[in-house]
Structure 1
């Protein structure tokens, strides 16, 4: 078997981390592209969502440069599996004592929208973009984050596909609402070993019966915008307000609140968690 050609190393301590992913790439170009992508994401640069910035090139003049084109090929054309890379990332988080998940953590659900012109891009459509506080043409991604108040990191992401992309619209069997997508992501996180004592989301999710029912199936504890902690109880009655539907708990836990219309978690002593909204004075 031919030995692998050595890859130019990533800067500083990043190389040790990047090398843990080498087995997922079959070519030198892919391993090099992965290191360049990681470096671009973590380097202190503005506009780190653009290819030119990721490659360290000028915004307009550098578009046709070698580094930009090479990174473009790695991200859009090269045959590697993003899910496998994410699975390896989560595996590394579980292995480290400082980042290993435990039963006292919380899974936070949220979505993020970005503007996008045109109609040809997958998942694009006119929809609510919470980042901008208005309806506009863009792409929305549903995400899950694990946190225990000390650390936090993303688990899984999935783009939301608007109904007009499907032949039968919202009635199409393949269509999934954001609450349905988020419930599936929570289940994936728990299956991957990221235990939690609660699942929190903003009011847009807790207003969905589908969301509560989907979370009951894997036995995930939840908290809604009502400020109440989900607690053991019978199956929800048809007239019970959706914001107060009980969801099975594995064990009693301190109060978890999701306030306003943003995801947040607070402890039993009302200590704000990282990333949560400021409390009104």
Structure 2
């Protein structure tokens, strides 16, 4: 058998990471393209990370340059499998002791959209890109993230295809609503659980609680879940009983913190070290009760007023510790504090969006095919996981002889004032940008620039489908 031709190495620690994927690529051009694409995503840029940018070429005029065409072919035409690359990425995370998933974490499911012009690009149509807070032309992707509040990383992504891309529209057998691919992703996570990808529950906001297909897929996969309900979503009940989650919460007794009545105090711990006392209760609504297979848990910072932005109405199939079926349930019982903790991890998917979009160029692709879009998303996730790989890697010697891949030649958009020195402990000494693959810089601060802030501490609103999407 002919020996493989050696591939030009990537810069610094990126080469060790990229080499773990080499057996998934059949040619030298593919291995080189993988390294060049990740290097471009990780390097600091002042313009959108399109292929011309990743190759260091001039926008538009540089599109015909060999380096640009090479990356274009690698992304759109070269015969490699994005699913295999993503599986390898997840295998590497599982092997990393500090980042390995465990039974205390959650899988968060959400969708995120970005504006895209035109009609010829796969998955693009008039829909709800959450960042814009309005219906617009764009692409929406259903994503999953694993997190335990300490580490977090994307698992899989599935672009949502609007109905007009199908010959028979919404009646076409191939058409799927957004909760359907999300449930399919959850089912994939369930099968991965046997390979060590454990989680305590699947968590989602109220956009998914309106879909029967969502619940059916989770139950068939045997997955526990904690999903938010809209406060005014009606359900069947007797005429003299409450018919909405908020109506079920109002009659519960409450006087003050010393006389909480039906409410139980729950201590919430945030990443910055501060804590808040919330209050939670198992409410009764229709078929929801502490003794039923499905529970309605209401959690709020103020039981007297039930503020809209700081009150959660949660549906879960995790049994109450004292429920008759708790001993025989397939899922371990969870008290109120555990339910609140699990849903409190949901904002970490919003944090991951900030990083893959604002730093790593998630929405900067300029390709049209479904395969190329999925490949770009997979490569962005690889770049994200490389940051964790370096965050947990032991510090090594600095190579002072290596050339600077990003020499200081001035900003691409003219002069600008020097930013103030950072004050965060983990990012101390770095610039405002992310020199992720530079061999002369210490590997651990790589993630600090991406991970400078945790999710904001404002509690999520119950309904993100209103005039604007709540960011938390």
Please confirm whether the aligned pair reaches a TM-score higher than 0.5, indicating the same fold. yes
| Aligned equivalent of 1:209 | 212
| Aligned equivalent of 1:195 | 198
State the distance in 1 between where 2:64 and 2:291 align.
Answer: 59
What SS class does the counterpart of residue 205 from structure 1 fall into? Answer: coil
Contact 2:226 2:315 in 1 (8 A): no
| Aligned equivalent of 1:128 | 128
Report the CA distance between 1:106 and its aligned residue.
0.7
Contact 1:232 1:248 in 2 (8 A): no
Q: Greater relative contact order: 1 or 2 (C-alpha under 8 angstroms, separation 6 or more)?
A: 2
Name the CA shift for 1:244/1:182 in 2 (closer, same or farther; >3 Å): same
Unaligned stretches of 5+ residues in structure 1: 237-242, 266-273
| Aligned equivalent of 1:178 | 178
Q: 1:233 aligns with which of 270, 282, 292?
A: 292
Unaligned stretches of 5+ residues in structure 2: 230-279, 283-287, 296-312, 320-330, 349-452, 460-472
State the distance in 2 between where 1:247 and 1:218 align.
Answer: 13
State the distance in 2 between where 1:160 and 1:228 align.
Answer: 36
Contact 2:318 2:333 in 1 (8 A): no
Most deviating of 74-83 and 193-202: 193-202
Q: Count the aligned residue pairs.
A: 264
Contact 2:105 2:200 in 1 (8 A): yes
Name the CA shift for 1:168/1:20 in 2 (closer, same or farther; >3 Å): same
What SS class does the counterpart of residue 102 from structure 1 fall into? Answer: coil
CA displacement, residues 228-278 of structure 1 (integer Å, 9 cap, x when unaligned): 899873379xxxxxx76542562124124658xx9427xxxxxxxx85443
| Aligned equivalent of 1:139 | 139
State yes or no: 1:264 paired with 2:347: yes
| Aligned equivalent of 1:94 | 94
State the distance in 2 between where 1:215 and 1:228 align.
Answer: 24
State yes or no: 1:251 paired with 2:332: yes
State yes or no: 1:222 paired with 2:225: yes
Contact 1:106 1:146 in 2 (8 A): yes
Most deviating of 49-58 and 153-162: 49-58
TM-score by length of 2: 0.52
State the distance in 2 between where 1:151 and 1:8 align.
Answer: 32
State the distance in 1 between where 2:339 and 2:163 align.
Answer: 36
State the distance in 1 between where 2:204 and 2:178 align.
Answer: 11
CA displacement, residues 73-129 of structure 1 (integer Å, 9 cap, x when unaligned): 100011110001000101111111011110001111111212222211111111111
| Aligned equivalent of 1:278 | 457
TM-score by length of 1: 0.85
